């Protein structure tokens, strides 16, 4: 009875991950989507005796606001450009998911430390690949809000509000891929991590597409 109870507990706990996010750059994000492969990498604390391979996720929808993660320069500077919203419960049915806290690479849990960063990691003792399209709930493109300026006529140019011109070609490829695969698309404001309302989202997406086609 005790063993059965423990087994049921493990199964239940394995399905309580919830929504998690994977951040990356436009270039890497497009490759991940097109190949349907989110590949693991060897962890900092991996050793020959105890190999650890992981794919990192976060529960923090504002992660891009708080962290300089060393990605290629984007419209934010050195911050993520796109995120995948992932069904953590579904992912945990196939992969071992464990919490992880990064503190200077130590992995210790010390939440009072300023550099504390809580993650969820898919973990294995061997390299592995996640077929991301199986678990993805939406493709979230980070859009930087810019305060509009007055044009030559003295009117505010509200077309400046969102940086849909920057990185337009690769953004278009990501948008079109998601549309073709019927994956929901969200445009995420850089400040709060929340999606734009659909009405505004559709307008900005069309401007991204139009800019790429030279119809601006």
Rounded distance between C-alpha atoms, residue 134 and residue 59, angstroms: 19
Res 181: pLDDT: 96
Q: pLDDT value at position 134?
A: 97
According to the model, what pLDDT value does residue 140 have? 92
Query: What is the chain's pLDDT, residue by residue, as a tens digit (216 residues)?
Result: 455 555 544 444 455 889 999 998 888 899 999 999 999 999 888 899 999 999 999 988 888 776 544 444 444 444 578 899 999 999 999 999 988 765 554 444 344 444 445 688 999 999 999 999 999 999 998 876 555 566 667 665 545 555 555 566 788 899 999 999 999 999 887 566 678 778 778 887 887 777 666 554
The pLDDT of residue 119: 81
Burial of 127 from C-beta contacts in 10 A (0-12 / 13-18 / 19+) = exposed
* CA gap 59, 19 in Å, rounded: 7
- pTM here is 0.76
- At 172 the pLDDT is 86
């Amino acid at each position: 009875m005790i063993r059965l109870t423990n087994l049921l507990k493990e199964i239940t706990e394995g399905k309580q991950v919830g929504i998690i996010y994977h951040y990356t750059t436009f270039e890497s994000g497009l490759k991940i989507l097109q190949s349907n492969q989110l590949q693991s990498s060897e962890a900092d604390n991996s050793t020959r005796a105890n190999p650890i391979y992981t794919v990192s996720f976060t529960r923090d929808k504002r992660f891009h606001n708080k962290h300089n993660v060393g990605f290629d320069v984007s419209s934010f500077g050195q911050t993520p450009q796109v995120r995948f919203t992932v069904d953590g419960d579904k992912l945990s049915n196939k992969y071992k998911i464990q919490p992880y806290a990064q503190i200077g690479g130590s992995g210790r849990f010390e939440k009072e430390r300023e550099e504390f960063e809580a993650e969820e990691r898919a973990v294995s003792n061997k390299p592995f690949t996640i077929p991301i399209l199986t678990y993805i709930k939406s493709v979230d493109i980070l859009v930087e809000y810019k305060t509009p300026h007055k044009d030559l006529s003295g009117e505010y140019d509200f077309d400046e509000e969102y940086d849909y011109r920057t990185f337009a070609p690769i953004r278009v490829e990501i948008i079109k891929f998601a549309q073709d695969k019927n994956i929901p698309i969200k445009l995420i404001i850089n400040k709060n991590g929340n999606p734009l309302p659909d009405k505004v989202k559709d307008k900005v997406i069309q401007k991204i597409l139009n800019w790429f086609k030279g119809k601006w």
